[in-house]
Amino acid sequence: MTFDDFARLPVAWLDASGEQSAIVVSSRVRLARNLIHLPFPNRANKTHRQHLVKAVLEACEQNKQTKQLVFFDADGLNLLQQQVLVERHVMSPAMMTRNGARGVLVGQAGCLSVMLNEEDHLRFQAIFSGLQPQSAWQAISELQQVFAESLQFAFHEAWGYLTACPSNTGTGLRASVLIHLPGLVLTQEMDAVVRGITQMGFAVRGLFGEGTDALGNMFQVSNQITLGRSEQALLGMLSQAVAQLVECEENAREALLSSVRSKIEDKVWRAWGILQHARMLTSQEFMNLASAVRLGVGLKLIHQVSLQTLNELMVETQPSHLQFMLGRELEAAERDVFRADRVRQKLMPSG
């Protein structure tokens, strides 16, 4: 599978399957692992880094399942290609700015991936559609198990898995969900909800992780604690917190419908009208309009578009995907025109 093949494949975790998929876009579980006898990437020299990549790729060959993973060497990808991987959430922005041997192993559907020489030697990741952190955990846990057969991960009896940053030590697990909370934003309850969730030991971030905005009312909720609890306990806590969030969001939506129904209908339908007809769309405006339409689908006001289509557009309308699809770099204004074209094509396939 070439990079182009991969970048053109539909992303499986955007298919709106799984529980609560009208509100919970996806569930992601990440495991940090490091090899013994090799310094953490931040401390590693050129040779160490090359050694790590070589060791992991050799380990891949040992097993039928891991053999199917495809390795994209970061240095073998141009900037645009790297950004496409970032937009697909299989490569971190941090990896792009690093040096030395590094890259990412990906499964065909984009659900499973392993970053090599990012902050840790290996960062396993599974993303599943909807609210299913357990399934994601199971998939990624099995994958790291396969690697563990041929690689020796640094593990301390008292501390657990060792990681470059102490905040990840222990399980090395970070679980998160990407959740769409337009109701709580519209009822202005989001600040209070974020405070509550934070006190429960979770972090709330924007679409692309730490320090990014909650574009289109999309939030990432993830566990802060990695140490002193079992993986099952951590996942259980997250599922519970997310279930509460979903309930709050459903209540907010109901409250909106009963107090300002016309305004909500207007907001939702206008967004649908604009998405279908606009000839220029910034990515920020797209995300906000798509958020309103997604709310409309959730409220069963709009039946003309699927959650899957909206999810896919969220990835496909990002700057690097647009430029990759068109095969050339685009000025911001050209991108806005092409983004609007793309959205119209996808929303009105016949027109």
SS (H, E, C) 160-218: EECCCCHHHCECCEEEEEEEECHHHHHCCCHHHHHHHHHHCCEEEEECCECCCCCHHHE
Beta carbon of residue 294, minimum distance to a copy of itself (angstroms, whole number) = 16
Q: How far separated are the first and last CA of the chain, in Å rounded?
A: 33
The nearer residue to a copy of itself, 202 or 286, going by C-beta atoms, is: 286
Residue that is written with structure tokens 């959730």 in the block: 298
Beta carbon of residue 334, minimum distance to a copy of itself (angstroms, whole number) = 9
The nearer residue to a copy of itself, 237 or 337, going by C-beta atoms, is: 337
Position 350 contacts a copy of itself (CB under 8 A): no
The nearer residue to a copy of itself, 124 or 272, going by C-beta atoms, is: 272
CB atoms under 10 Å from CB of 58, counted, come to: 11
Position 262 contacts a copy of itself (CB under 8 A): yes
Interface residue with a copy of itself among 51, 141, 337, 346 (CB under 8 A) is: 337
Position 341 contacts a copy of itself (CB under 8 A): no
Interface residue with a copy of itself among 8, 46, 54, 277 (CB under 8 A) is: 277
For residue 100, give the nearest of 49, 43, 34, 42 by alpha carbon: 49
The nearer residue to a copy of itself, 285 or 316, going by C-beta atoms, is: 285
The nearer residue to a copy of itself, 167 or 304, going by C-beta atoms, is: 304
C-alpha–C-alpha distance, residues 293 and 310, integer Å: 8
Dihedral sign (CA 199, 200, 201, 203): negative
The nearer residue to a copy of itself, 48 or 253, going by C-beta atoms, is: 253
> Near a copy of itself by CB under 8 A, which window of 39-47, 88-96, 275-283, 321-329?
275-283
| Spatial contact of 171 and 183, defined as CB atoms under 8 Å apart | no
Residues in touch with a copy of itself (CB under 8 A): 262-263, 265-266, 269-270, 272-280, 333, 336-337, 340
